[in-house]
Amino acid sequence: MEPSDNDPVYVVRFKTFFTTDLAKRKDNTNLTWLNIATALDPRFKGLKCLSKAERSEVWASISNLVVGERPTQQPPSETTEEQPPNKRRMSVFLLGSSDTDTDEEEESTEQRVECYKAEPKMDMEGCPLQWWSKREGAYARLARIARKYLSTPATTVPCERLFSLSGHIVQKKRAALSPDNVNRLVCVSNWLK
């Protein structure tokens, strides 16, 4: 949206203001959050809007989030008996340290992310949160992360409604007002001040 030589002065001013304002808003946008939320939405997990390098970066950050997610606390069973300390030490000696457990856990999370990527895409009319709730058993940690990222409101309309003058005029009860009537009410409200 570059100003051209044929544009009138007001159009040039609008274009320059619009591009600078859009650049400021883009700088304030948390693109990482949006990319992760897009990847966790089963409708758009192909990430066609990103380059291959950006896609792999998004999936790597999702894998890191899954590894960092704590497993759900399972209630302790009453029938388990504690083993004597020397048996524990012997099992650690024979089976290796718990470092291998974390390596296996990381591989398991990588496999879960790959399994999610391999799942067929969801219909565009479907609800991603319902999709994740149905598959929470298979992807427990990934589902918790998806719930966190997908529950973020995608609009600032309620905030704008609270703080703007037209927001005071156009309330939920008056949402059916035509744009002309809203403009008239805003104008009258400004005149009365």
The domain locations on the chain are 30-71+84-150, 156-192
| Rounded distance between C-alpha atoms, residue 99 and residue 107, angstroms | 13
| Rounded distance between C-alpha atoms, residue 65 and residue 59, angstroms | 10
Question: What is the value of pTM for the model shown?
Answer: 0.56
| Rounded distance between C-alpha atoms, residue 190 and residue 171, angstroms | 17
At residue 163, the pLDDT reads 53
| Of 128, 144, 126, 148, residue with least CA distance to 136 | 144
| pLDDT per residue as tens, the chain (193 positions) | 788 888 889 888 988 988 888 888 777 777 888 899 999 999 999 989 889 999 999 999 999 998 887 665 544 444 445 555 555 555 555 555 555 555 556 668 788 889 999 999 989 998 999 999 999 888 889 999 999 998 876 665 555 555 555 565 566 666 677 878 878 877 887 777 6
Collapse the DSSP code of 80 into the 3-class scheme (helix H, G, I; strand E, B; otherwise coil) and give the result: coil
At residue 89, the pLDDT reads 53
Q: Using an 8 Å Cβ cutoff, are 132 and 143 in contact?
A: yes
| Rounded distance between C-alpha atoms, residue 101 and residue 37, angstroms | 29
At residue 154, the pLDDT reads 62
Q: Using an 8 Å Cβ cutoff, are 16 and 7 in contact?
A: no
At residue 21, the pLDDT reads 84
At residue 188, the pLDDT reads 81
